[in-house]
């Protein structure tokens, strides 16, 4: 069962400060891990290891934020202060410090251990639903990536399956058929 959704969603993962001998410190973490199921509102969800490939090839201007707050920008891909690289674990994120209060504060919060989690904001382009042993499984196959964020809570209450996606999951499983929605427009940022 495959379907498309354009609603923005977020998920959480782990973050740390990496101090380097001959270079400035960077924040390093995973905005997402691949092929590791987790529960979101009674649905077992998995991010496919190819979920970010298309969007990263298209090189959108992705932002690094604090708490998904668009007024608290600490880095972005356009200026090279944010690097995104899928590897064997997940979507690896590296954030270089810039000379702003928000950036300095973000590095201090991570270094002190006050914040140690990451999240990402995205919309689903392609997903599959299955019912296995009475449990709905959602595999996210392709996303539009908008932002990565430093967050206080690894189990962020906002990291929920949207009502639209939940309805699609129930419909796909009950009807044993594929649901296709129009593909969301690609977020390119300003170039």
Residue 159 has pLDDT above 50, yes or no: no
> Pick from 171, 150, 164, 166: which is nearest to 14 by CA?
150
pLDDT more than 70, % of the chain: 68
- Per residue in 80-118, pLDDT (tens digit) is 999 999 988 888 888 999 999 999 999 888 888 888 888
Longest CA–CA span in the chain (Å) reads 58
Label residue 89 left, alpha or beta by phi (over 0 means left) and psi (-120 to 50 means alpha): alpha
pTM of the entire structure? 0.72
In this structure, what is the dihedral angle of CA atoms 106, 110, 115, 121, given to the nearest 10 degrees?
60
Q: DSSP 3-state assignment of 120? A: strand
Residue 20 has pLDDT above 80, yes or no: no
**DSSP strands (E only) in 48-163:** 63-66, 69-76, 82-86, 90-96, 117-132, 135-151
Q: Would you kindly state where each structural domain of the chain is located, as residue ranges?
A: 2-175
Give 76-79 contacts, CB < 8 A, sequence gap 24+.
76/189, 77/189, 78/189, 78/190, 78/191
């Amino acid at each position: 069962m495959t379907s498309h959704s354009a609603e923005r969603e977020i998920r959480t993962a782990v973050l740390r400060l990496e101090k380097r001998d001959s270079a400035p410190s960077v924040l390093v973490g995973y905005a997402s891990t691949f092929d590791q199921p987790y529960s979101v509102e009674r649905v077992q969800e998995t991010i496919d290891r190819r979920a970010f490939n298309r969007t990263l090839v298209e090189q959108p201007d992705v932002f690094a934020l604090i708490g998904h707050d668009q007024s608290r920008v600490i880095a972005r891909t356009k200026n090279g202060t944010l690097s995104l690289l899928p590897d064997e674990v997940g979507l690896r994120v590296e954030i270089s410090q810039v000379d702003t209060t928000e950036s300095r504060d973000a590095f201090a919060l991570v270094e002190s251990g006050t914040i140690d989690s990451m999240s990402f904001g995205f919309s689903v382009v392609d997903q599959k639903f299955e019912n296995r042993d009475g449990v709905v499984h959602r595999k996210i196959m392709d996303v539009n990536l908008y932002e990565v964020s430093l967050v206080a809570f690894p189990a962020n209450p906002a990291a929920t399956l949207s009502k639209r996606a939940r309805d699609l999951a129930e419909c796909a499983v009950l009807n044993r058929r594929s649901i296709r929605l129009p593909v969301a427009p690609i977020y390119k940022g300003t170039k």
